[in-house]
Structure 1
Amino acid sequence: MEKELLNQIAIVTGGNAGIGKAISLELAQRGAKVMILARSQEKNEEIRKIIIDKGGYSEIYKVDVSDKNSVDTAISEIYEKHGQIDILVCNAGNSTPLNYLTKMPIEDIDSIIKTHIYGTIHCIQACGEKMKEKKYGRIVLMSSLGAYHGVTGNAHYCLAKESLVAMGQTLAKELGRYGITVNLIQPGSINTEMSSQVLEVAKNKVISETPVARIGEPEDIAYATAFYCSPRASFITGDIMRVDGGYILETGMDRLVLSMLDPEILK
């Protein structure tokens, strides 16, 4: 694989599991020195070992992105050691039990907002000025299809993910003249621990409503992220890439028409 990110310093929040783990591995394979910021030190150690065993470079930092001091301390340590920050992937996320917004505990709403919105802000504030000094940077924010069409029982999560779209596109305007791009990814149904409960119940239905007829894998998101982080994406900013196998395109009308067609046509 081409080492197009050779010796670049890449920070991946939530980089030790699921989508974040795949992103960390992909960026490392492309030559980046991957700094993993996540809460579980045990999982941090596991992914760092995998990267090292594959010939890559990685450092780990136990960080809660909702805590500004925790983020600032880690980013300052990274910058003091390496003298640069080239890539920031804001992937850290969490979830709470599904619930109607009218009945949702305020603690659940706070948890989502603090992690997804404030966590992203903390990371951008810690890294943005350092990228401006170098006049180079790649920032990728992890949104969701929920930002586009909402998800019943998940209003707070959808709110957070839509907020990231507005934030990312504003940042693209503010930082573009410094050689910094800011783009967003909206994953569809991805085979991760966080989505396992939903997929256990509705996997076949999701597959049937996805044009490419499969569930996404974390690597699908990692490939898209790596593209946004690459030098080849220097003229792309404020963009939103849906990585969903076409799921968003399907409608009730499509399903109605398909049910009316001769099965022989669909072979």
Structure 2
Amino acid sequence: LMLPINKHGFIQSPYIRVKDGCVTDEVVYLSAIEEGTYKIGQANSKINKDGKLQGEFINCRVEGGNFVMVEPYEVDFTDVTPMQVVSVAASLIPFLENDDANRALMGSNMQRQAVPLIKTDAPFVGTGVEGVVAKDSGASVLALHDGIVEQVDSNRIVIRTLEQKVDGSPSVDIYNLLKFQKSNHNTCINQKPLVKVGHYVKKNDIIADGPSTDNGEIALGRNVLVAFLPWNGYNFEDSILISERIVKEDVFTSIHIEEFEV
């Protein structure tokens, strides 16, 4: 998460500089090679109101991925957030620290295999990065400027911006939505407007949902009711029973598009 790429093509990670045991406001980006030469504290290290690290010893990461306990004045940097050490998919798993590593790895891989559903449903339990992932994915449509929504239909959104052109005339932004387009994985790309006529929108607000998003949040699955009880042996070990309403109500229904040439 939050990893830019430097001019040499190496991924960098943000860190907060620590001077004499005091956490500063300076953010420094380091590559994997550079960070190995420093002692880096955890993002959840306790600090007081003056920004000084609390405790006799601080748990730090050093070269080779090893961990050592050092005094506060020896710390060079701290992580910006605990999530920066995991992938985007792993950051979407609630209570990740309580999961077995193999199960977390399975969860990350299975998220990549998800297909867009007809009826999207944002998760009841999340980690807080669902909105960020949806916005950064490029699947949703973002407002380019502050403005008022003038026209909305299933194919386009028209927003009159509050910024005027050089000649003084008001400008209009027109957003043409993608409707039932084929993706490279033969899934369906369909964008749905979230705003109504008269709504005021700010720059970078999400004005239309894309595939696998619900009200601006990533929505890879559905919130379904699960009962933990035996059922005449039909759910023995890895077996499960699914209600026929799953099919009738299109809970997990998805659209796939393929092209054939004759």
- Return the structure number with greater strand share: 2
Same fold (TM over 0.5): no
Compare the two structures and name the one with the higher helix fraction: 1
Structure of greater relative contact order (alpha carbons < 8 Å, 6+ residues apart): 1
Return the index of the structure with the highest Cα Rg: 2
TM-score by length of structure 2 reads 0.24
